[in-house]
Amino acid sequence: MDFKDGKWAQKIIALQLNDGSWGDFHSLSTITPKQPITTEQALRRLKILGYTLEDKPIKKVVNYLQNCLNGKTTIPDRVEKLHNWKIFTELMLSAWIIIFSLDNGKANDIAEKWSIIINSAFEGGNYNNDQYISTYMKELELKPKGGRLLDFTSFYQISLLTNILDKTIEPNYFKYILNHESGIYYIYDKKINKIPKTFKSKETSRYISAIELLAKYENINCKKQLDYVKKWLKGNMENENKWDMGKESKDGIYLPLSDSWKKDKNRINDCTYRINTLINKI
């Protein structure tokens, strides 16, 4: 199914600024004129609608991200004082660049640093917090002053580390994420190994977005850990081998895909397309 020429994508593209961004990157702050969407939200939505680096709007925004990462320009967001802002912005920018393109030296270098950190933290099989902190400080050249160390169970690190960790360590990292009490930061805030109680809900859509992220890991010992998700999804299949997450699943980011959900069949087709795509990956 092709959603690239639909009204949702065209509405987002019409808001793209000349520099390739949509204004604020991570949050809608008060520094720049308000846009109804951030650069990050636009990237996520366009990717879901099928856009790749071959498409002009993505080429334009990836070039912008690369310029920000290389110091030629900066994102206009308000500085978040809880983080080391430089490390956090490099992490965000690198993750989104790598999602669309592996052809950026600095983004790849940052991914490599994070892989060293995580490989070190899990080299004994279980997570070692002291090892995480010491390797974190060494690789990122950081002495934590006035800012906390970044939690690695977030959308950014999980995206950045896809298929680059040591293959014997990767399943341990994966298991840790599934059992993390707060889920995946910026995606889903509950334990991933506990499925939502109500299938027809916005929570299910958000939960599936977390699984879609994890499904990109190709390690067979990671994929086996998602067997319960496949069983759960198949158990919620309805008539004619289709799925329906209900009207409540519409969030403007992951769904809808079709131009309108006024007809139930469009919603069901969108849900079925999304879930079938996920099942084929896990």
Query: Looking at residue 29, what is its pLDDT?
Result: 52
3-state secondary structure (DSSP) of residue 185: strand
How far apart are the C-alpha atoms of 124 and 136, rounded to whole Å?
17
Q: Taking the mean position of all CA atoms in its chain, how far away is CA 75?
A: 19
pLDDT of 169 over the 90 cut: yes
Dig out the tokens for 157 from the structure: 């690190």
Taking 90 as the threshold, does the pLDDT of residue 162 lie above it? Answer: yes
Mean pLDDT of the chain, nearest integer: 93
- pLDDT of 136 higher than 60: yes
> In the predicted model, what is the mean pLDDT of residues 224-240?
97
- Share above pLDDT 90 across residues of the chain, in percent, rounded to a whole number: 83
108-136 average pLDDT score: 95
Terminal-to-terminal C-alpha distance of the chain: 20
| Residue 217: DSSP 8-state | -
Residue 202 has pLDDT above 90, yes or no: yes
> Given this model, what pLDDT does residue 116 score?
97
| Mean pLDDT calculated for residue range 81-98 | 89
Question: For residue 145, is pLDDT > 70?
Answer: no
Task: Determine how many CB atoms are found less than 10 A away from the CB of residue 21.
Answer: 25
Contact 143, 154 (CB under 8 A): no
- Measured between alpha carbons, how far is 88 from 140 in angstroms, rounded to an integer? 11
Secondary structure E strands in the chain: none
pLDDT of 229 strictly over 80: yes
For the stretch 242-256, pLDDT in tens is 999 999 999 999 999
The pLDDT of residue 274 is 98
Mean pLDDT computed over 209-229: 98
Instruction: Tell me what the mean pLDDT of segment 168-188 comes to.
Output: 96
Is the per-residue pLDDT at 51 higher than 90?
yes
Name which of 25-34, 192-201, 221-230 the model is least confident about. 25-34
146 pLDDT exceeds 50? no
Over range 61-71, report the average pLDDT: 97
